[in-house]
Amino acid sequence: MDRKLAERLRAIEDRYEQLNLELTDPAVLANPARLQALVREQRELGPLVDYYRQYRQAVERYLEAKQVLEEESDEELRQLARDEVDELEDRIERLEQEIRLALLPRDPNDERDVIVEIRAGAGGEEAALFAADLFRMYHRYAERKGWKVEIVDAHESDVGGFKEIIFEVRGQGAYSRLKYESGVHRVQRVPVTEASGRIHTSTATVAVLPEAEEVEVQIDPDDLEIEVFRSSGPGGQNVQKNSTAVRVIHKPTGLVVVCQDQRSQFQNKMRALAVLRTRLYDMERRRQEEIVARARRQQVGTAERAEKIRTYNFPQNRVTDHRVGLTIYNLEGVLAGEELDTIIDALITADRVARLEAELRNGHPA
């Protein structure tokens, strides 16, 4: 490990110890906002500090084993020392790799809540049914993570699928994991409407957007056209008799947001404005990304949406993520949200390795 990296790690460890002291300060404990910020910082630094401490311990053991190898005359002890040196060399190399990965800049949106938009693609009613399958998969996955899911708007198909469904996912780290789901998902199976038993291929698109805070996106009320109408969603006669659904049109961009899932017009308006802010935030974020680094665009909102990122093959009971070449022969487990972490973990690892290699190629080691 080079000197600059070691100095940086020592400074991070010192900051981590300082945080431990600050978190016992009564003044900090009495300030919820300050306390939350320090806890978040400590949580982010914790894994890196742990890797660094393991690295130092491994180096100390390595130097001790090397000393035994140089000074000991007993061949049996020398062989034990030689084996330990080989083992520790591999461990030190792995830990340094983990440290460099952990030092990569974090996505500032990772801790945000998200808005997920699923739309049926090619395949008619079968595509709408597949969109519903994807929604249930994410809903179950969110439940396993302890996240909260709220539907913003949904347009059902004639056979019970979704032509489009938009929903919020609220919970710690929601965007950090769900952002890898953006793109075109493909399903291969025999549709329930297919009498001949032929396998059809259908698609649905998924867009995952980090939710914007109100202070981050200022919307001029004069730029908005707001319409109210009767909801076509669940709620019985009360919903049908009252104009509770809200359509918000952002005149400068032409963006349209509809929300009709809430019981009151006010709640639907607030939810629609939250979705609008998120879409405007995403548009600005993508514009800045293109200016700063075209080659490093994120998946949300780029041309990568047009790529088939994953295939769900029912006859073969398999799910294949084409970005990392990972295949899982447990389709039911993936759709139940149980195996989705396996895919997302592989995508996170591949992304981190690719970013580290880019940093090293550009002469900016972590």
Which one-letter amino acid corresponds to residue 47? Answer: P
What digits encode the pLDDT tens for the residues 144-177?
Answer: 999 999 998 898 988 889 999 999 999 988 999 9
| 299: in domain | no
CATH code for the domain in which residue 171 is found: 3.30.70.1660
117: nearest Cα among 169, 68, 76: 169
Q: Which of 227-231, 280-284, 316-320 has the highest mean pLDDT?
A: 316-320
* Tokens coding 181: 């789901």
Distance CA 69, CA 86 (A): 12
> Which residue, of 102, 127, 158, is where some domain finishes?
102
- Same domain? For 159 and 19 the reply is no
Quick one: average pLDDT of 318-344?
95
pTM as predicted: 0.67
The three state secondary structure string of the chain is CCHHHHHHHHHHHHHHHHHHHHCCCHHHHCCHHHHHHHHHHHHHHHHHHHHHHHHHHHHHHHHHHHHHHHHCCCHHHHHHHHHHHHHHHHHHHHHHHHHHHHCCCCCCCCCCCEEEEEEECCCCHHHHHHHHHHHHHHHHHHHHHCCEEEEEEEEECCCCCEEEEEEEEECCCHHHHHHHHCEEEEEEECCCCCCCCCCEEEEEEEEEEECCCCCCCCCCHHHEEEEEECCCCCCHHHHHHCCCEEEEEECCCCEEEEECCCCCHHHHHHHHHHHHHHHHHHHHHHHHHHHHCHHHCCCCCCHHHHCEEEEEECCCCEEEECCCCEEECCHHHHHCCCCHHHHHHHHHHHHHHHHHHHHHHCCCCC
pLDDT of residue 232: 64
Other residues' Cβ atoms within 10 Å of the Cβ of residue 36: 10
Does residue 173 come out as left (phi exceeding 0), alpha (psi in the -120 to 50 range) or beta? left
Ordered strands of the 255-259 beta sheet: 224-229, 245-250, 255-259
Who contacts 41 (Cβ-Cβ below 8 Å, separation ≥6)?
19
Whether residue 94 sits in one domain with residue 235: no
More confident call, 314 vs 264? 314
Distance CA 268, CA 265 (A): 5
Domain count, the chain: 3
For 291-328, write each residue's pLDDT tens digit.
544 433 344 333 333 469 999 999 999 999 999 999 99
Domain shared by 252 and 319, yes or no: no
Q: Does 235 score more than 50 pLDDT?
A: no
List the beta bridge partners of residue 155. 164
pLDDT for the residue numbered 363: 59
Express each pLDDT in 42-67 by its tens digit: 988 998 999 999 999 999 999 999 99
Residue 49 in domain: yes
Are 62 and 206 part of one and the same domain?
Answer: no
Q: How many CB atoms lie within 10 A of CB 331?
A: 19
Show which of 50, 82, 102 is a domain's final residue. Answer: 102
Specify if 233 maps to a domain: yes
Asked whether 248 and 224 are in contact (CB, 8 A), the reply is yes
* Residues 90, 48 share a domain: yes
- Output the pLDDT for position 74: 85
Return the closest-CA partner of residue 116 out of 83, 151, 88: 151
| Residue 218 CB contacts under 8 Å (≥ 6 apart), including other chains | none
Percent of the chain beyond pLDDT 70?
87
> Would you say 286 and 262 are in contact if contact means Cβ atoms under 8 Å apart?
no
Residues 247 and 128 in one domain: no
Structure tokens at 200: 């059809």
CATH of the domain at 57: 1.20.58
The average pLDDT across 258-286 equals 84
Identity of residue 110: D
Confidence of residue 240 (pLDDT cuts 50, 70, 90): very low
Q: Which residue has the tokens 């996505």?
A: 107
pLDDT at position 245 is 86
The reported pLDDT for the residue numbered 215 is 54
Distance CA 315, CA 324 (A): 22
Same domain, 319 and 208: yes
Show the domain range for 53.
3-102
